[in-house]
């Protein structure tokens, strides 16, 4: 079984800002799925910009080796970043992932992949005293979770990228005492989706502008700590009416931003 990173992509009309890192085979796929997307492509291959398949596409090209240089964009520049095979070749995976996470918006998503060191093919080679992949990083799934968590990603989903159809090898290793959660031993390559925010927080951030969210947060915290509470309850009501902030959103926002949640929910009439 084999699939690529488009397994995570529903497509749509949103004019998302995409950063594609050394993944030229995905350029046309992204354009097909997101026809209004704004694409920035980073690659070492300068000739790529002249390829006929990219003619007429609105692409900003940047030529550099991202393993050695940080990405030349302001923080928060992109809604989505896609990079295939990048982590297998990275010199400093932690620094590279941290740089990528900072280039995403506060609701941005990173799509990537990695080679599974617990794949039976790798284990069998090690058993024979061989290491079959040179100059490449391999990762255990649990280690990838820690790495993404340490580099500021909050919500991570995995799917198999390449998986053996014949499961006899994994059964042998499992019988020998190797853990095999979700048939991990038969998966050669994993795909992942890593979001900067959890789905709940992303929904909260996506509905209103940063300026509205900052004002709402400020008013709620003043209410929470009894700073001109009556006046700020009035300001809250005015803000909700002006910006169309509905009760369910206000309830979830309090849940995510206030320490004394029950107290604030009672004060603002959401409990």
Q: Are 156 and 249 members of one domain?
A: no
Q: Which helix (H) or strand (E) holds 111?
A: strand 104-116
3-state helix, strand, coil split of the chain in percent (to 5) is 45, 20, 35
| pLDDT, tens digit (0-9, with 9 covering 90-100), for 40-68 | 999 999 999 999 999 989 899 999 999 99
* 61 DSSP β-pair partners: 41
Among 157, 175, 198, the domain boundary falls at 198
Q: Are residues 12 and 89 in the same domain?
A: yes
Q: pLDDT band at residue 270, thresholds of 50, 70 and 90?
A: low
Number of domains in the chain: 2
For 128, residues 6+ apart whose C-beta sits below 8 A from its C-beta are: none
DSSP string covering 66-108: TTTS---S-TT-EEEEEESSHHHH-SSHHHHHHHHHHHEEEEE
- Do 85 and 212 belong together in one domain? no
Secondary structure letter of residue 2 according to DSSP:
B
**Last residue within a domain, chosen from 174, 198, 222:** 198
- Give a yes or no: residue 77 inside a domain: yes
Q: Residue 83 sits in which domain range?
A: 5-198
Selection from 244, 246, 250 nearest residue 264 by Cα? 250
**138 in a domain, yes or no?**
yes
The average confidence (pLDDT) of the chain is 91
Most confident of the ranges 151-155, 238-242, 258-262: 238-242
| Statement to judge: residues 149 and 84 lie in one domain | yes
Together in a domain, 142 and 52: yes
Q: Which one of 198, 233, 257 terminates a domain?
A: 198
Q: What is the pLDDT of residues 98-157, one digit of tens each?
A: 999 999 988 899 999 999 999 999 999 999 998 877 778 999 999 999 999 999 898 899
Residue 203, domain member (yes or no) = no
Give dist(CA 267, CA 261) in Å, integer.
10
What's 55's domain CATH number? Answer: 3.40.50.150
User: What are the two backbone dihedrals, phi and then psi, of residue 168, each rounded to the nearest 5 degrees?
Assistant: -65, -40
* Same domain flag for 194 and 233: no
255 in the same domain as 190: no
Give the Å distances, CA to CA, from 241 to 87, 145, 184, 236, 246: 47, 42, 51, 9, 9
Residue with tokens 């095999």: 180
Half-sphere exposure of 71 (CA within 13 A, CB side): 26
pTM of the model: 0.78
> Which DSSP string do the residues of 208-266 spell out, in sequence order?
S-HHHHHHHHHHHHHHHTTSSHHHHHHHHHHHHHHHT--HHHHHHHHHHH-SSHHHHHH
């Amino acid at each position: 079984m084999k699939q690529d990173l488009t397994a995570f992509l529903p497509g749509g009309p949103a004019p998302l800002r995409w950063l594609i890192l050394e993944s030229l085979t995905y350029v046309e796929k992204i354009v097909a799925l997101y026809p209004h997307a704004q694409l920035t492509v980073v690659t070492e291959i300068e000739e790529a910009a002249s390829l006929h398949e990219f003619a007429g596409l609105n692409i900003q090209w940047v030529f550099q080796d991202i393993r050695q240089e940080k990405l030349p964009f302001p923080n928060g520049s992109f809604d989505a970043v896609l990079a295939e095979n990048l982590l297998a070749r990275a010199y400093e995976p932690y620094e590279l992932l941290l740089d990528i996470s900072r280039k995403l918006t506060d609701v941005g998503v990173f799509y990537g992949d990695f080679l599974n060191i617990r794949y039976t093919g790798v284990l069998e080679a090690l058993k024979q005293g061989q290491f079959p992949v040179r100059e490449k990083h391999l990762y255990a799934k649990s280690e990838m979770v820690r790495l993404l968590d340490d580099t500021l990603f909050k919500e991570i989903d995995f799917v198999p990228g390449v998986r053996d159809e014949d499961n006899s090898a994994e059964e042998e290793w499992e019988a020998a005492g190797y853990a095999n959660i979700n048939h991990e031993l038969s998966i050669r390559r994993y795909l992942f989706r890593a979001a900067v925010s959890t789905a709940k927080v992303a929904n909260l951030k996506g509905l209103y502008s940063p300026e509205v969210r900052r004002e709402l947060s400020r008013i709620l915290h003043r209410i929470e700590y009894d700073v001109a509470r009556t006046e700020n309850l009035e300001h809250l009501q005015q803000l909700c009416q002006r910006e169309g902030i509905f009760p369910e959103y206000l309830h979830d926002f309090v849940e995510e931003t206030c320490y004394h949640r029950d107290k604030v929910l009672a004060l603002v009439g959401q409990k």
